[in-house]
Amino acid sequence: MRQSEVLTAAGKYLAQNPEELLRVIRNAAALKLGVPLAALRWFAARGRGRAAPRDVIVEAVPPGIRVGATLEVMSTRLRFSSVVFIDRVRLSAEELRFELRFNDTQLTLLGSNSASPLAALIQSGALDLAKLGNLVAVMPKRPAYLIEAKGDKIVVDLKRHPALSSARAELLLRLVTPVVTVTGVAAGAAHLALTLGLFVKGARAAVDAFFELL
């Protein structure tokens, strides 16, 4: 995904929703950041490749968000839906760690998948969808940024995603994470609300990173 594409989409969104600028200013004063759910939908729809999610939905179920998508998993085409809660966030130049908890998970088979082992498990009702992490843990070819899965929890480190592992992305993280962290995440009606915390002593590290960007 090109940077120009992101900036163009952001400009169009702000032109159509000018109240977002006022929201950003108000939230900044209260050390909060509101990420529009529309932005999450936009990014999710930009996935490429056969394994990329299709027909993605992201909607608020405060304090969580319901995520749904059509997936191709283990040669099985299915519809996935679950309510996701972000229990913990840990941010630094070395990691972007999110601990996710899943509830009300549903899997629906699409098309003719009866010959697939996964389809057989879904049809038999043998899968415990209340413990989605256990299912993900045994899936082959898991992405590198999915670092832990157990029970109803899945832990991802987005620093391991190719888009965020470049030298420039790492420099940007070194600019931001010494000063700002996320202390809480909850969904509102149309935004994912991030409560921020400041590290005053990290200003020097951020200044050093800033000069490296120049």
Q: Three-class SS of residue 119?
A: helix
| Nearest partner of 64 among 91, 37, 44, judged by Cα | 37
Is residue 158 within 8 A of residue 98, CB to CB? The reply is: yes
Q: Three-class SS of residue 213?
A: helix
Q: What is the pTM of this model?
A: 0.76
Per-residue pLDDT of 132-155, as tens digits, reads: 999 888 877 788 899 999 999 999
Six token digits for residue 120: 């057989």
Per-residue pLDDT of 78-133, as tens digits, reads: 899 999 999 998 887 788 899 999 999 998 888 765 677 878 888 888 888 899 99
